[in-house]
Structure 1
Amino acid sequence: MPTLRHADRRGAHEATRLAKRLRHQVGKAIAEFGMIEDGDRVMVCLSGGKDSYTMLDILLQLQRKAPVSFSLIAVNLDQKQPEFPEHVLPDYLRSIGVDFHIIEQDTYSVVSRVVPEGKTMCSLCSRLRRGALYSWAAENGITKIALGHHRDDLVATFFLNLFFHAKLSGMPPKLLSDDGRHVVIRPLAFVREDDISAYAQAKAFPIIPCNLCGSQENLQRKQVQKMMAQWEHDTPGRIETIARALGDIRPSQLSDPALFDFLSLGRRDAAAQADAHAWLAGEPHAAARGGDD
């Protein structure tokens, strides 16, 4: 049918445009933050979700024409969740000819035993998962660890810290681990989640749902995501504006004296400056009393 063929051509064209946009955004993030260097051995952390599949796919495309030489290895942590389809990732990775490794560590039992029923598991689960991945990276000459967090994750983390932890911080596109041994990169830092969803559907990735934390509905992150979705519905483009703001920080327009020297701003050299204790003590300065008798 002509109409059906036209729809197929249109769908293929849109998929091609989407892939090009994702390559551009990932390439831009890699360049702006110096994520990948010549000779890097990049560990692509693959969970079986749409984000990590997309990250691996786009990195493989960029690798073919990259201005530097680097290798990729896909690594999955099998956490021994009940009914986890262990064959899906290995079968997929073999089908596309990607070097991979499966780490087997029963973090599911640990989390299920330690976390009280009704409490969120994400914090402990992520710490155990991070420890297993970091250990394997250290033992296998990995120079960069790639995670599949996207633009919306970065914005959501900013609001999580703002609303629940009273601090302005987020999820940086590139960071050094606390022990100083690992460089973590987030190549999808500029990519919208909606685009990832569309791309994963077009590519028909074999998605594996996370049954450990995905079933927990009362998570703080889900509250923030619901808020962001409503914002985007009411004012399209708002999340992109916030994401750009995370890369345009003005310390002098905030209130952190550790980032900006407010004490020296406009200070006269000869003027005395009392500390907070003196201001609160209730004892006026000699000059304010008219001098000593």
Structure 2
Amino acid sequence: MNLKNLEKRLTYLAANAIRDYRMIEDGDRIMVCLSGGKDSYGLLEVLRLLQARAPVRFELIAVNLDQKQPGWPEHVLPEYLDNLGVSFRILEQDTYSVVKRVLPEGKTMCSLCSRLRRGALYSAAAEMGVTKIALGHHRDDLIETLFLNMFYSAKLGTMPPKLRSKDGRHVVIRPLAYVPEKYLQRYADLREFPIIPCNLCGSQANLKRAEIKRMIQAWDAEDPKRLNMILRSMQNVRLSHLADTDQFDFESLRGKVASDMPDPVTGEQDPFVGLVKPLEEEPAL
């Protein structure tokens, strides 16, 4: 796929996600979080392409958080953004030292680093008066997170295409939610983005996310339609066909009560009280 066709595909997928989740509205002031990786570069360029042709007006401000990692090339992003003519701001916060001090050697740093980075970006967003915070997570990130949560946290959830922060002050959007990672890699290669590798967490070996990534890449190689089917399944959730009693009222689903059994609706004791034992772990085979 050449550059022109690839950009058409990227903007088509991003525009669909933006439309489906009403990510961008007229007059939005959008913070584009730029890390120096292929995904955030791709996000900025796709939004710039859409900005030129969108039926609504919105402003883009690229923001990078300099976490004071050793060897971080401070000049790369400012020079790149200056050449593009994009408004930008570089934040400086030594989260690197915090992470290295708090976590023992060999411990996965991604979670703590992400929380610190998110806090810094949210504070800057409030100060700058932005209405949306755009992140570069793509389709494969959403799918990887789904399986990470299932396999290692026993919960069913992922990164939503659009969300409100816990404090209610910010709206986060992921315009690349429909975009396969391989498209962004191809785009980065064709555009020759000045990629800055992460030396904090991205270089750690044997991360669980890397294991999941290998799994879904194998699935993609086996059947190119499979990952899109997984994405579509996240958009077609049937709570009554899962098993979460907090999300669906299973208790109200009652059959006909036998004549010789106390009716639970009348307030009499449920005939199963005392008979149900806590679920135990399955014995080892």
Task: Calculate the TM-score normalised by the size of structure 1.
Answer: 0.88
Distance 1:211 1:281 in 2: 56
Distance 1:276 1:172 in 2: 42
Alignment of 1:170-181 (within 5 A): 170-181=158-169
Query: CA shift at 1:277, angstroms?
Result: 7.7
Q: Deviations over 1:210-233 (max 9, x none)?
A: 010111112111111111112222
Partner of 1:122: 110
Query: CA shift at 1:235, angstroms?
Result: 2.7
Partner of 2:170: 182
Distance 2:139 2:47 in 1: 17
Partner of 2:274: 281
Partner of 2:150: 162
Q: Deviations over 1:53-89 (max 9, x none)?
A: 0000010010111111110000000001111110000
Query: Which of the pair has more CA radius of gyration?
Result: 1
1:132 matched to 2:114: no
1:145 matched to 2:127: no
Q: CA RMSD in A?
A: 2.0
**Residue type of the partner of 1:23?**
T
Q: Deviations over 1:78-128 (max 9, x none)?
A: 001111110000000000100000001111111111110010111110011
Partner of 1:230: 218
Q: Deviations over 1:127-177 (max 9, x none)?
A: 110000000001110110000000000000000100011111111000000
**4+ residue runs of structure 1 moved beyond 3 angstroms?**
266-271, 273-278
Distance 1:206 1:120 in 2: 26
Of 17, 23, 32, the residue aligned with 2:20 is 32
> Which one has the bigger helix percentage?
1
Of 202, 205, 209, the residue aligned with 1:214 is 202
Answer with 136-145 or 217-226: which moved more.
217-226
Distance 2:35 2:45 in 1: 13
Query: CA shift at 1:276, angstroms?
Result: 10
Partner of 2:249: 261
Partner of 1:60: 48
Answer with 125-134 or 239-248: which moved more.
239-248
Name stretches of at least 5 consecutive residues in structure 2 with no aligned partner.
277-285
Answer with 235-244 or 168-177: which moved more.
235-244
Query: CA shift at 1:207, angstroms?
Result: 0.6
Task: Calculate the TM-score normalised by the size of structure 2.
Answer: 0.90
Partner of 1:272: 264
* CA spacing shift, 1:276–1:126, aligned 2, 3 Å: farther
1:46 matched to 2:38: no
Distance 2:90 2:127 in 1: 14
Name stretches of at least 5 consecutive residues in structure 1 with no aligned partner.
1-10, 284-293
Distance 2:96 2:254 in 1: 57
